[in-house]
Amino acid sequence: MPSIEISHGCAKGERPLVPQVCRVVEITEETPDVKSFRLQTLDGKKPFDCEPGQLGMFGLLQYGECMFVVSAQSDEWVQFTVKKVGLVTEHLHDLAVGDEVSLRGPYGNWWPTEGCKGKDMLFIAGGIGLPPVRSFLLYCLEHREDYGRIDLVYSASKYDDLVFKEQLFDVWPNDPDMHVHVSLYHEDPQWDGEVAYTAPFLDSLELGPEDGNRVAVICGGPSLSRTCRESLLNAGYSEELILTTLEMRMKCGVGKCGRCNMGGHFICLDGPIFSLAEIATMHSDV
Partner 1 sequence: MILNKQKVAALLDHLSGARDVFVPATVDGVAKFARYGEGVQPDFGMVNTTMPPKDLLFPQTQKMYHFDVDANGSYRIHEYDESREQVVFGIRPCDMRSIVCMDEVFLTKGFVDEFYANARDKLLTVCVGCAQAAETCFCDSMGVDPQMAPNADVMLQDCGDAYLVLAQTEKGEAEVAEWSAFTEEADAQPVTCDLTLKVDMEGVVDKLEGMYDAPIWDNLSIKCLNCGTCTYVCPTCHCFDISQDMRRKDGIRFRCWDSCMFSEYTMMAGGHNPRPEKLERVRNRFMHKLNFFERRYGMSLCVGCGRCVEKCPVALDITRLIDEIGAYDA
Binding residues for partner 1, per CB under 8 A? 9-19, 21, 61-66, 85-89, 99-102, 221-222, 247-249, 251-252, 254-259, 261, 263-265, 269, 283, 285-286
Cβ 151 to partner 1, closest distance in Å? 27
Contact yes or no for 163/30 (Cβ under 8 A): yes
Cβ 87 to partner 1, closest distance in Å? 8
Toward partner 1, which CB reaches closer, 100 or 230? 100
Toward partner 1, which CB reaches closer, 11 or 140? 11
Give the three-class secondary structure for 95.
coil
Toward partner 1, which CB reaches closer, 216 or 254? 254
Toward partner 1, which CB reaches closer, 176 or 258? 258
Cβ 198 to partner 1, closest distance in Å? 17
* Beta strands 20-31 and 100-107, pairing class: antiparallel
Toward partner 1, which CB reaches closer, 43 or 285? 285
Toward partner 1, which CB reaches closer, 12 or 187? 12
User: Which of 79, 85, 88 is closest to 36 using CA atoms?
Assistant: 79
d(CA 284, CA 286): 5
Residues with Cβ within 8 Å of 139's Cβ and at least 6 positions away in sequence, in order, are 52, 111, 113
| CA 126 vs CA 82, 91, 217, 219, 224: distances in Å | 14, 24, 12, 7, 7
d(CA 112, CA 93): 32
Cβ 56 to partner 1, closest distance in Å? 15
Contact yes or no for 241/211 (Cβ under 8 A): no
Contact yes or no for 200/224 (Cβ under 8 A): no
Contact yes or no for 229/202 (Cβ under 8 A): no
Cβ 29 to partner 1, closest distance in Å? 20
Cβ 101 to partner 1, closest distance in Å? 8
d(CA 84, CA 62): 17
Cβ 85 to partner 1, closest distance in Å? 4
d(CA 215, CA 209): 7
> Is the torsion defined by CA of 182, 55, 245, 135 positive or negative?
positive
Toward partner 1, which CB reaches closer, 83 or 119? 83
Cβ 255 to partner 1, closest distance in Å? 6
H or E element that contains 26: strand 20-31
